[in-house]
Structures are given as C-alpha cells and as structure tokens.
A and B are shown apart, each in its own frame.
Chain A
Amino acid sequence: MSTPEADGLQAALRAEHSAIWGYGVVGATVSPELRPGIRDVDAAHRASRDELADLIRLRGADPDSAEASYELPFPVGDGASGLQLAAVLEDGVAKGYAFAVSQADSQRAKAFSLGALTDAARTPSTSVMAGPPLGPVSPRSRRRTITRWPTWSRFKGTGSPVSWTWVRLQIVERRY
C-alpha cells in the first residue's frame, strides 16, 4: 500500500541503497587509515537501511530493492575522488531523508528521518574526512573547503519540487 509517508521512506531507502553501494567504492580508494571510519559510516547506513525497511513494512509496503549497480557521477580512482564521492553519497542520502521528512505523517517517521538527515550532513566533515573539529581554532590552519550547493530539483519518482539549496555539505580537508 502506497502512502505519501511510505513513498518518502522509500525514496530515503533508495538513497541508502546507492550510498551503501558507493561506500564500497569509497572504501576501496581511500588511504588505509581512513578505512575504519569508512566502515563505521557504511555500517551506520546499513543500519538505517534496515530500519527504513522495517518502517516501510509497518506501513504495508514492500521495501524497494537495491539496484545491481549504480553510475558514478565522476571517475573515482584515488583517495581524493573517493572522499568527494562520499560527500556526494551523503548529499543524496540527505535529499532522500529531507523528502521523507516532507512526506511524514507520523512522529516516528519524521524523527527518524530528521536524525538521519542530520547524520548525513555531519558525516563528511567528521569521520569520513578525518578532519579535526574547528575549535580551538587555529586561524592559519590550512583548510580547503569544497562546497556543493544542490539546486532546485525534482526528487526522482516523486514529482515534488523541493529546493535543497540550504542542504550544503562540505568537505573540510586538512592539507597538512
């Protein structure tokens, strides 16, 4: 049975499927010291995937399956591009959960989606990037911030225009 709330959760689930696939690529490209962090993030996404599937089943729908493979948005061949891919993956997951929030009727679905949305926003700047937190601040520390501003888009399969301009994920990469 399809409801707006279930459809929103399915969108988030499809994003989680693609992220889990993508983190396999990320893990194969990043430097060894980052791999434990990548594994933790991957495990968190798998847990979220499973919880989403449960939430969808509770609403009388069958959880969408993962695709056999996904297209990479750009060539990924080294650690730097792997980390960029991680940011793209979290961006996609954030979009999925933000859509789920917009469709949620129940507090449980909304609270879960909000929490996962926050996790997606925080992940690139913390465990994946292995960058230090900002404070205490060393103003002269060498940081490079890569910004990506997803623009007005239609989330696949929903037909609902949602602006994601304010979902801005960032990579803070310590150069030295």
Chain B
Amino acid sequence: MSDLPGGALRPPPLTRRNLLLAGGAALTAASVTVGLAGCEATSTDSSATTAAPTEPLTPVLLGQQVLLATYERTLAAFPELSPALSDLQGQSVAHTAALLQAAPAAAAQVAAAAGSTPSASASSSAPPAAPPTDPTSAVADLARAVDTAAGSLRAAALRASGELAALLGSCAASTACHARLLGL
C-alpha cells in the first residue's frame, strides 16, 4: 500500500483573464448569496443597521490585492524580472482566485471597497509607495509584500476551520515558499 501520491495533472495555466473571469463568477455568486441571506433574515443580521460586518476573509483578500498590485508594479518597472517572477505571480493569482471563490461574501465586500467594477479591483488601484529604483530593491520590496501576505493568510487559517482553513493554510504555505525564493 502506498501513501505516496501518484501522478498529478496540471490544470490549464491561469492568466489574468482567467482570474478576472473567476472573480466575476465569484462575485456573481456573491450577489446571489447576499440576496438569499436577505430573504432568509438570519438572526445575526437583525442588528445590522449602518455598517455591514466585515467578512473574516475581507482583510485577506485586500492583502492579496496589494500583493498582486506589487507584482504588477514590479514587473512594469523591471520587465527583465519576468522570467523569475511571473511563475510566482501566477500562483498568487491562483490563490486569489481560489479565495474569491471560497469566500464570495468577502469578495463582494472587497469589490465594494474598490468602488468600481470587479475587473478593476486588482489591477487599477494605484499603489502610493515610491517606486523602487533598481531590480534588487524592487525584489526586496516585493519579498516584504509576499511575507506580509503569507502572515495574513496564516493568521486567517488559524481563525478558520474546515476546508477553508486548509485552503488558507495551503495558500499561506505556498506564499511563504515564495518569500523564501525571493530571499527572505
């Protein structure tokens, strides 16, 4: 008998377009979920008057957006880093897509916070940070952003339960691996 996993299939590569499609699907699902929740009038909703409660995963998704924006800013400034970074970026895109699907309510809050269309959420938020001046410092900045995201994912995994905890933990582990690869 064997506990060793056998061969694994690789899914189609994730592109930004796929992510946006996935995000759109998640947001569509979110609107349905929100609508159903309103009809069912769950007990915890009765006290909601002015401010909507923050979904547990909303900070994580906002952190993922910051991370993806950092990747884009880094690659826009230093396209020569693409061979080294695009694979890691693609994985963070995949993490974000999986989290959007797993937490549609949080995805809706993030989209609302962006105050724009879903497709603009991850790519058009202009980061205020001063741009790095050389590739080494750009990678160092990126590594810090990756490390922050890994910590946020891990903290969320500790608070979550069930398969959501496993998802968050897996994303945290992968992101921590990225931080290591980036020199942290």
- B25 part of interface (Cβ distance < 8 Å): no
CB neighbors of B among A133-170 (8 A): 133-137, 139, 141, 143, 145, 147-151, 153, 156, 160, 162-170
Q: How far is the CB of B164 from chain A (nearest CB, A)?
A: 8
A167 pairs with B174, CB closer than 8 A: yes
A148 contacts B180, CB within 8 Å?
A: no
Contact residues in A for B83 (Cβ distance below 8 Å): 139, 143
Q: Determine if A136 and B183 form an interchain contact, defined as CB atoms under 8 angstroms apart.
A: yes
B1-58 residues at the A interface, CB under 8 angstroms:
1-11
Q: How far is the CA of A17 from the CA of B170 in the complex (A)?
A: 21
Interface residues on A, range: 35 or more
Of the residues A18, A118, A151, A169, contact of B2 by C-beta under 8 Å = A18
Which residues from A are CB-within-8-Å of B116? Answer: none
B77 interfacial by beta-carbon distance below 8 Å: no
Contact with A along B168-184 (1 / 0, CB 8 A): 01111110110011111
Whether B1 and A67, one on each chain, are in contact in the complex, defined by CB atoms closer than 8 angstroms, is: yes
- Chain B: residues with Cβ within 8 Å of the partner, total of 48
> For the complex, is B114 an interface residue (Cβ under 8 Å from A)?
no
B residues sitting closer than 8 Å to A (CB atoms) are 1-11, 80-84, 87, 91, 94-95, 98, 135-136, 139-140, 143, 154, 157-158, 161-163, 165-167, 169-174, 176-177, 180-184
CA distance A166 to B81 in the complex (A): 23
Interface of A is mostly: mixed
How many Å lie between the Cα of A156 and that of B11 in the bound state? 22
Q: A88-B4, A136-B183 are in contact. Are A167 and B136 (CB under 8 A)?
A: no
